[in-house]
């Protein structure tokens, strides 16, 4: 995994309380709720990079409670569009009893 030093602002790298607090405030604030799924993962990826995490790719796999759609998957990488996919269940397979 490569460290993207150009994404680490001076004096903000690391995991200090202020750094973590800014991320938590974004996750729990209105700005985070106002974006779609692609905007969420892109915003999270950018913020983790800005916090100093050496991140090359971020992938979220979100299971659903849908009888046909097993999960939704989102992948983000710096300077690339977000990739998204729906993972369907096998034909005839039941997820829930």
pLDDT tens for residues 50-88? 888 899 999 999 998 888 888 999 999 999 999 999 988
- Given a cut of 60, whether residue 1 has pLDDT beyond it is no
Of the candidates 87, 75, 79, 7, the one whose C-alpha atom is nearest the C-alpha of residue 41 is 75
What residue segments make up the domains of the chain, in order of their start? 13-88
- Given a cut of 50, whether residue 3 has pLDDT beyond it is no
CB 58 within 8 A of CB 75: yes
Number of H helices, E strands in the chain: 3, 3
pLDDT tens for residues 13-49? 555 778 788 888 989 988 888 899 999 999 999 999 9
Retrieve residue 70's tokens: 């097993």
């Amino acid at each position: 995994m490569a460290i993207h030093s150009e994404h680490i602002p001076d004096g903000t790298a690391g995991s200090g309380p202020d750094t973590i607090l800014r991320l938590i405030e974004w996750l729990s604030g209105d700005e985070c709720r106002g974006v779609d799924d692609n905007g969420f993962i892109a915003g999270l990826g950018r913020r983790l990079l800005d916090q100093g995490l050496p991140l090359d790719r971020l992938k979220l796999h979100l299971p659903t409670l849908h009888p046909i759609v097993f999960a939704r998957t989102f992948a983000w990488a710096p300077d690339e569009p977000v990739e998204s996919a729906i993972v369907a269940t096998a034909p005839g397979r039941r997820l829930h009893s």
